[in-house]
Each structure stands twice: as structure tokens, then as C-alpha cells.
Structure 1
Amino acid sequence: MRVIILGAGGLGSVFGARLAEQGADVTLVARPTHVEAINKNGLKISGVNGDSTITNITAMSSADDAVGEFDYLILGVKSKDTAATLAGAASLKGRIKTACSFQNNTTKEDDLANWLGAEHVIGFATIEAAQLIEPGHASHTFKLPLSTYFGELDGTITPRIEAIVDICNAAGIGTKAMPNIKQVMWEKITQIANAAGWSVSTLAGNKNLVMNDGMVIQEGAEHYVQYARELISVYKALGYQPENFFAPVSKLKELDGGSFDDAVATVIAIGEGMNKAGMKGRPSMFTDVISGKKTEVEETIGPFVHKARELGISVPTVDAVYRIIKVLDHYLV
């Protein structure tokens, strides 16, 4: 199996390393400093699965240097960089059998289909997390027993889905083939939008705070539930019901069902559990804001705002969170 990861930051590096450990021929296209460090010393992976250094991996800073055909391409850049990245990888066209994306947005499959053709695109969602510690070193910061899903966009399970699922499972990434991959991807973006928007609108005034710091406060938990329920109302209007695909961290079913007070108690309990476990959750959007970087508010929260308006659904908290972050984003670079 040959895999090329286009835009290999923290998560792309970890996925690439895990697949390479299972014998896949992996090429990472990444920033020059990261590429230089990998080619000199190998790719160091630390974190939840321990430490290792991967040397049987190819790294380059330009897709033009990639040779031959690839069974899978995984797009790993920020959503705002998609157009420029795909334009810069035109030399790969005709050499990619199957493509998918790590991104957190609702247009990633369409973007790839417009670039390669719809027949080359599959659905993919993962909640595994990683970060780039320094050039040549990525930390695998979060995993679940079942964290990753692949599926054909027409709802079928094909040999190319089974092949990528099998190697991911062999690599220690809990993965499942899903007929309803479109729902999985929408549920993931609902969960991501919830954590991202809530954290920025609640915690951004203090760069030392993490999610659990706000979740254990009554008012923080109340804001979390109100915001989540409005996001979920849009998700349900698309014909879906919360399934907690990313349990145990996913609690959309609990947030949506029962009384408001019970849901608030659930959020507080999650925060207390995170504190007890020593976890320090911080969504990338929150990290972007406190680091002075542009966010993906339009790609992550925008779909819920626009879909709610289209369907006539009242989401005042979602609207407020979106407006707050859009103002902050205006002054970020």
C-alpha cells in the first residue's frame, strides 16, 4: 500500500508513522523544516503509545517530488489552505486512486471531488489528536478504542474501504467501516463545533485555561449545554439522531436528552473526570485564538449558522458564539 499525506503536521505525521510501521510505503509532504529533520534523524513519535523513531518513511516539501502512483491520499492542511495546496499538487492528478481528508469541515469531500473526480473520494472521520512538538517530532496526544471511520459516500463498503480500515486497526488506530459515513462526519463536526466555539466564547480571556476549567463551573456548563443543544438541533434537522460515535468523549445523546439540569450535571462530571485524570483538553480553535492565529470559524461553526437560517431554526447561542469569534478572527493573522 502506498500512501501520501498532503500537509503532514502533527496528526498527519502520527498517522503516517503508524501506517509505515505496518509496512505501508508512506510519503509525507510537509514544511521544509519538518522534512529536513525527518530526513536527517527519522520521524520521532511520542505520546499515548510511547516513543519511537520511524526511518522507513519518505518526506518532501513539494508534491512535485513525489514519484509513482498512490493508493491513498490524505489531505491534512487547514481548511483555509485547501485551494492553494491542491493547486500546488496538480502533478499528483492521475496518480491517486483514493483520496480523503482529516479536515473539520463539511466541504472536504466536494473539494477533493472537484480536484480528482468523485469516484476517487471516500468519507473519513477521526478524533485521534496529535501535535507537532518541533520539526521531526510529533506527539500522539489522544486516542480512543474506536476513534476512526471510513466509508464510501454512497453508503457501500468496498475493498478499498476494508483495506484502509484493516491497516489502521493493525497500526493500533481503532477503526471501523461505516455505511452511514456522512452521518459520522456530521456528528464529528457537531462535536468539534461544540468544543471549539464553547471554549473560545468561554475561556479565551485567559490563555492558561483549558476546557475542564470552564466545564466544572456552573455557568460554564450551562453555556456548554445550551450551545450544544442548538448545534444538535441543526444536526437533527438534517435527518440524523445523535449516536455518540466517538464515545466515551462524545456525549451528544446525553446533552440532547433529559432535562437541562441533568445535562449540565453531565458536563460538570465530565470536567471533574478530566481534572481527576490530569487531562488538559484544549481545542485547536482556542489554541489558534490565544496564539494570535486565524481560526476555522467559518468552516467549523459557519455551516450550522447558515443551515439554521436556511431551515428557519432559531439558534441564538450559536449565532452569538459565531459573531464573537468572527470579531476576534478579524484581528488575527
Structure 2
Amino acid sequence: MTDKAPETTGLTSKDYYFDSYAHFGIHEEMLKDEVRTTSYRNAIYLSKHLFKDKVVLDVGCGTGILSMFAASCGAKHVYGVDMSNIIDQARIIVADNNLTDRITLIKGKVEEVELPVKEVDIIISEWMGYFLLYESMLDTVLVARDRWLAKDGLIFPDKAVMHIASIEDGQYREEKIDFWDNVYGFKMTSIRDAALKEPLVDVVDPSNVNSSASAFKEIDILTVTKEDLAFTAPFRITSNRDDYVHAFIAWFDIVFSACHKPIHFSTGPAAKYTHWKQTVFYTPDAMVVEAGDVIEGSITCKPNTDNPRDLDIDISYEHEGKAGTTKESVRYKMN
């Protein structure tokens, strides 16, 4: 370990982000995420006819599990790229599984490395981050797509959908947010205001969800551009009971539509647990809603100027009910 600052070592915050993926605990958590790993395995194993004799690129290959899935399904050759030191372990893993003749692992950034082939038939990648886009590798997948994917090539997965709903979460909000209003008799409201604007990644009990869900952003990875990932999208949700709204939650669904029978999984509160959980955005004040009330607004999401892997998220919303009208706009920062 070095105590030098990033600028004196020539490394950037982005480099440290990638190097964090060398830690085994992160890969253990992802591999043990049954929904995640089984979905990828099923999408590949049930598409052997698509992978047979094809050249495959695994973007952000990590331990090499997706590369080995593809090689086991008859891929002609798999190229795995990762700039984290985990790739050193992945080489050992590939050798231990007698797949070195089918899998080539390349250490480096997709934006900088060269492949021994001019094009690939299929790109596989587990690129998703919290709130889908926070610290995600989608930008890197798009670079790989534009550099190497053959015409009519495939991407696994190829579609994502982001959703929003409202929740009642008074007890947790009081413990985590309102706590700062009175700390042993002292006001620490400035921290409360900062905590309010920092989204929480956590598991939400589905019984806390008190509205319909609105799909506010759909991404087709075969056609989306980097510019499309900075967006403003409308949403409209309907309360399903008389309740209080303390926060909005967001989650995403992933689709492998190239499969003969499309495979998908959800990271929503009603679905089986994934390590992505859900993202919670607390509102400045609680809203009183009745069944049938409508909350509508918009979400603006864009990379942070100083660190593009962080996100600036603005949620503007309006609700008119018997208790009055709420109109608010809040800027959140995921970092």
C-alpha cells in the first residue's frame, strides 16, 4: 500500500475504482448473487446455437466466469478484458479449468487494448451498477461495441428498463435522516440536509411500496449512445392506499432478448434479492396520499462533472391531494 496521493502516482480516481475490483470479497458477493449469475449462465447455456463457433468478447471479465460459460458452450474463442488485478487470478482459474486454448485474457482498458481479431460476434458483460448507471461499465461496453462488434452481432444482455415507485418508510427515515435534527440536544441540521441528498442503496420491504411503478427509462444496448445516458424522463405513479410517502425508490430489470425465449431478471423489491438491492431517494417532507392519488414528475440523470462514475440525479415531482399540494425538486448525488 502506498500513502501517495493519486496525482503523485499517476493514477486517477477511475484507476482506483477499477483496482477495487481486485478484492476477492467483491467477486464473492457477485458470484453468490444467484439471480445475477444464474441468469447469465442460463442465457448463455440456452443459446448454445448462438455461441457455437463464434468469437466472443467478455468486457470486464473479472474472475472469468462468463468467459468460461461461453467457452463451455462451444465458442470458437473468447477474449476477456479487465484492467483490475483480478485478471491475474482469472488466468489461473482458466488454466485450472483447462480452457487456456479457448480463452485469452487481456489486462488493460477496453479503450486502449488491441484484440488479435478485427471483430467479434458476441459481447457479454455484467456492466450494471447501483441505480443501473452508478459506477456502471456501460460506457465501456459501448466503446467495445463500436470498436469490434460485427454487423448483426449480439450483446448479452441487450436491454435494461429503469423503474420508480413511492414508499412509506417513516421509521427508517426518522433513524437515518431526522436523527440529525436533535443530537443529544444539539442541532446538526446541516448533516441532515446532506444525508437527505445522498441516495440509500438498501433492500426495501415490498409491503412498504404504496404506489404503482413507472418505467421511466429503457435502454437498448445495441443502439444506445453515450449521450443518451444523460437524460430527463417523465414518470407518473398512482398511490394504491391511504398512506404517507417518505421516499421514492428505483430499480431496474435486465433482458437477454437474443435468447430463443428471452431471459430476464428484476432488481425490484418484489423480486428475489440481488446485490444491487434498490435505490432510495428520501423526500424533504412526507406527502399525505390517498388511494388513487397521482404523483407525477421527471427524473434527470447525468454523470457528475468532476467524476463521471458518480451521478447527479434531480427528481422533480408534484402531488395534489386533500392535505394540500406538494411541488418539489431535489438534487441527489450518488458518490
Shorter-chain TM-score: what band? 0.3 to 0.5
- Larger helix share, 1 or 2: 1
TM-score normalized with structure 2 length: 0.35
TM-score normalized with structure 1 length: 0.35
Q: Which is greater in Rg?
A: 2
- Larger strand share, 1 or 2: 2
